[in-house]
Every structure is written in structure tokens, then in C-alpha cells.
A = this chain, B = another copy of it.
Amino acid sequence: MSPYDHNGPVPTKKPPQVTVAKPAASAAPARRRELLGIAAEVFAEQGYNATTVRRIADHAGMLAGSLYYHFDSKESMLEEILRGFLDELWSGYDAVLEAGLGPRETLEALVTESFREIDRHRAAVAIYQKENRQLAAQERFAFLAESQRRFEKAWLATLERGVAAEVFRADLDVRLTYRFVRDTVWVAASWYRPGGRHSPEEIARQYLSMVLDGIAVRE
């Protein structure tokens, strides 16, 4: 089950092209990335639907139409943002899952990795968290659903391994537990501010302490 050896067909970065035919894909990737960053910020702040292309352009100091030199559409910006985030996320997850750790250590590593990703891609995570459901229904964003499936599989497997190894309690509904864990981790993106008091690792530690040992005092 473990080896996730690829992010598969995700073609975010095209190889440098010789022909100048479609400049949008290759030209000045620096500016592209900058614009995507701005867009992600605004999407996260206002919501994808409520964000107008013009607002993004305002933040970038250009006119709305000018964005279309860099991107095909508003939706393609969104796609690129989410793909970039998921690519990185999975490269982290895959490393963890392939490391051959025990269930408890795997869980700890996955959670820590998640908080690190929130730290790095806060905006993207917030967008993902808010729009995931609606988007996943569209063919263009099928990769979101696919990612979620893989995500669920990895988590359930880890939890079940832990129950089998008597590291996790057996009396909990694994599916429910998965949902709780999953959600709590990601909603953090809605209030987390990078550069705040807590580092992602510290938040992960607190969170793990709570999830693993509970908040009640042991008798």
C-alpha cells in the first residue's frame, strides 16, 4: 500500500519550450508565481466566487484584462493554485508514508507535515478548505476528489494499523475519528497566521497531545 511514487499526471510546470507559441505557460514564471500568490491571498480573503478578476488585478497594480496575458481564466488561476498546493503536500506525505514508521509515529508525522503545509500555503489551504466540496464536482477539479480519496485511504490505513497494533483505542469508530482529525487539522488554516506566536511544529505538538491523550486529566 505504501509506495506513492508519483504525483502522476499533474502537469503544473511544463518544461521550457523553444517555440514562443503559447507564452502564457512558460514566459516569466517569476511574474506568474507572484500573481498567483496575490490571487491566492485574495481568493482566501474574499472567497473565490466573490473575488473579481479586477480585484486581483488591483492588488497586482494592473488592469483586469492584463491578467489574461498570463492566465487563461480566473478558474485556471484557481486550478494552478490548488495543484501547486496539493503537489507539495503530497510530496511531503509520500515521504512520510514511505518511511516505514509505526502507526503512531506516522500519525504524528502526517499531522506535523499538515501544519507545516498550512504555514507555507495558508491561502491555498484556506481556499481548498472552503471551496473543495463545490469544486470537486467539476471535471476540471477532479484531482481534488482524487487527492481526497488518497488522503482518506492513507489516514484510514494508519488508524487501522494503529488499532491492530493496540496503539489506538479500538472502541472508536475509525471513520468518525478520521473525519474529526482531518477537519481539525485543516480548519486551522482559517485562523492560523504565519509568523504568529506558535510555530507550526508547536501547534502540531499541542494538537497531537490533545488528540492522542485527550484534554481530561488522567485519574
Contacts and interface: CB of A to CB of B under 8 A. Distances in A.
Copies of this polypeptide in the complex: 4
A212 interface: yes
B214 A214 contact: yes
A134 B43 CA distance: 12
Q: Which of A134, A213, A214 has the most CB of B within 10 A?
A: A214
A19 B176 CA distance: 39
A32 interface: no
A69 to B, nearest CB: 11
Nearest to A168: B215
A47 interface: yes
Interface in A167-207: 167-169, 171-173, 176-177, 179-181, 183-184, 187-188, 190-191, 198, 203, 206-207
A91 interface: no
A176 B203 contact: yes
A2 interface: no
Nearest to A203: B176
A116 interface: no
Contact of A184 (B172, B180, B212, B218): B180
Contacts of A207: 176, 180
Interface string A208-219: 011111111110
B216 A218 contact: no
Interface of A: 19-21, 46-47, 49-50, 58, 61, 63, 104, 130-131, 133-134, 166-169, 171-173, 176-177, 179-181, 183-184, 187-188, 190-191, 198, 203, 206-207, 209-218
